[in-house]
Amino acid sequence: MTTTQVEQSALQTDSEPLLRADAVSKTFISGTFRKHYTHALDTVTFSVPESPPTITAIAGESGSGKTTLARTVLGLVEPTAGEVVYRGANVAEMSRAQRAEFRREVQVIFQDPFESYNPFYKVDHVLRVPIRRYKLASSKSEADDIVVEALRTVGLRPEETLGRHPHQLSGGQRQRVMVARAVMLKPKIIVADEPVSMVDASLRATILETLRAMNRDLGISILYITHDLTTAFQIAENIIVLYKGRVAEAGSVESVINDPTHPYTQLLVSSIPQPDPETQWGREQDSRDEDEIPLTGCNFYDRCPVRADECMSADPPLYRTAENRITRCYNYADSPVHLAADLRSVFAR
């Protein structure tokens, strides 16, 4: 594919997306006397279209910047550079009315369902508060109906859930109440930050299936933030792999996970413990060499098994290695450079 074609395909999707992260960077500064800069996010650009509703996984290890990206998208962290735009408005500069709408339409589910609750209140409380705040109901009975409906949507029986305290529910039930709370507000987007990592295996499947149903039946787009490539594979259409705040590889989830091109993604995929005793762990080893951290060039250099001298000279661009794939590695320098900033143009639909 030539460069012009790449640009054209980017143009085709150029109608204003629902949500757009535009060259978002976030640098955290710590230290009193000697400043220490942590580049948690480095010019990350992607978007969520108005339609069709999508599920996009944002994957990475701790320190990859995935949670910072989630918090930036939610407007909880202000980017150092770049902007997050929702329905054409910069999230950092929204009016009160815009922000209220944004807060309702972009919902979040956090990792630990226990921490999202006040242990002294009954479960009903977390469901009642948003109804009141967003005036979703004009009467008590209407509010009851909304709560019951939302619980049924996520597969919970209201009579077994309401009137209980958080500790009387299982982790999976608590997390599903959180999904119910998010769904009740009829959001456009749910940002799910490791929603199943604290949940037992038997309940994990149920929650993932619930999220899938929210996407399919209610038209909600989901940003699925995770360290777990297996659940990302199951739930998402497309995936963005972050490494130290930068996009290492992105594309359709099948291609990225079944045939990873970036050495980092290859390392991640080969580290997945497959639930199959006949499929033993791959041989790939982490070749981390802490004496080899370059000041310029590829940020994966110190761990890369195929590093070469040129990798130190400059940060590699994203190469478009296939229709639905980009990867930030000089190994693919024969492929055209991906010029369109937004990753949406390489995503499978």
Partner 1 sequence: MTIATSTSEAPLAVKDLKVYYHTRRGPVKAVDGVSFELRRGERLGLVGESGSGKSTIALALMMAHKEPARIEGGSVLLNGSNLLDDNNERVRLRRLSEIAMVPQGALNSLNPVMRIRDQVIDGLKDHNVRMSDGEFSQRVAELLDSVGLHRDVASRFPHELSGGMKQRVAIAIAISMNPSVIVADEPTSALDVVVQKQVVQTLREVQERIGAAAIMIGHDMGLMAQFASRIGIMYGGKIVEIGPVSNIFNNPRHPYTRLLISSLPDTRSKRRLEGIPGLPPSLLRPPPGCVFHTRCPEAMDICRQDIPQTRELDENRFAACHLYNDDDGKVVVL
CB of 325 to partner 1, least distance (A): 16
Query: Which structure tokens are listed for 184?
Result: 């009740």
Contact call for residue 341 and partner 1 (CB under 8 A): no
**CA Rg value for the chain:** 21
Which residue, 16 or 160, is less far from partner 1 as judged by CB?
160
Q: Classify residue 337 by its DSSP letter.
A: B
What is the C-alpha to C-alpha distance for residues 177 and 150, in angstroms, rounded to an integer? 9
CB of 195 to partner 1, least distance (A): 13
In the list 99, 164, 186, 227, the residue contacting partner 1 (rule: CB under 8 A) is: 227
Spatial contact of 70 and 223, defined as CB atoms under 8 Å apart = yes
In the list 204, 244, 320, 344, the residue contacting partner 1 (rule: CB under 8 A) is: 204
Residue type, 82: G
In the list 202, 295, 309, 334, the residue contacting partner 1 (rule: CB under 8 A) is: 202
Contact residues for 19 (Cβ-Cβ < 8 A; gap 6+)? 47, 48, 73, 84, 85, 86, 87, 106, 189
In the list 203, 312, 339, 341, the residue contacting partner 1 (rule: CB under 8 A) is: 203
Region 36-65 residues binding partner 1, contact defined as CB under 8 A: 61-62
Burial class (CB in 10 A: 0-12, 13-18, 19+), 180: buried
What is the C-alpha to C-alpha distance for residues 216 and 98, in angstroms, rounded to an integer? 27
Which residue, 118 or 170, is less far from partner 1 as judged by CB?
170
What is the C-alpha to C-alpha distance for residues 95 and 90, in angstroms, rounded to an integer? 10
In the list 35, 167, 275, 309, the residue contacting partner 1 (rule: CB under 8 A) is: 275
Is the peptide bond preceding residue 52 cis, with omega within 30 degrees of 0?
yes
Contact call for residue 277 and partner 1 (CB under 8 A): yes
What is the C-alpha to C-alpha distance for residues 10 and 282, in angstroms, rounded to an integer? 36
Q: Classify residue 330 by its DSSP letter.
A: G
Contact residues for 3 (Cβ-Cβ < 8 A; gap 6+)? 336, 337, 339
CB of 28 to partner 1, least distance (A): 19
Which residue, 48 or 269, is less far from partner 1 as judged by CB?
269
CB of 278 to partner 1, least distance (A): 7
Contact call for residue 337 and partner 1 (CB under 8 A): no
What is the C-alpha to C-alpha distance for residues 320 and 52, in angstroms, rounded to an integer? 24
Region 141-200 residues binding partner 1, contact defined as CB under 8 A: 170-173, 200
CB of 301 to partner 1, least distance (A): 16
First to last CA, the chain: 19
In the list 7, 145, 209, 289, the residue contacting partner 1 (rule: CB under 8 A) is: 209
CB of 312 to partner 1, least distance (A): 22
In the list 38, 43, 234, 331, the residue contacting partner 1 (rule: CB under 8 A) is: 234
Contact call for residue 267 and partner 1 (CB under 8 A): yes
Which residue, 110 or 233, is less far from partner 1 as judged by CB?
233
Region 112-151 residues binding partner 1, contact defined as CB under 8 A: none
Beta bridge partners of 26: 41
Q: Up-side HSE of residue 146: CA atoms within 13 Å toward CB? A: 24
Contact call for residue 252 and partner 1 (CB under 8 A): no
What is the C-alpha to C-alpha distance for residues 289 and 324, in angstroms, rounded to an integer? 32
CB of 277 to partner 1, least distance (A): 5
Contact call for residue 257 and partner 1 (CB under 8 A): yes
Binding residues vs partner 1 (CB under 8 A): 61-62, 170-173, 200-209, 212, 227-231, 233-234, 257-258, 267-281, 286
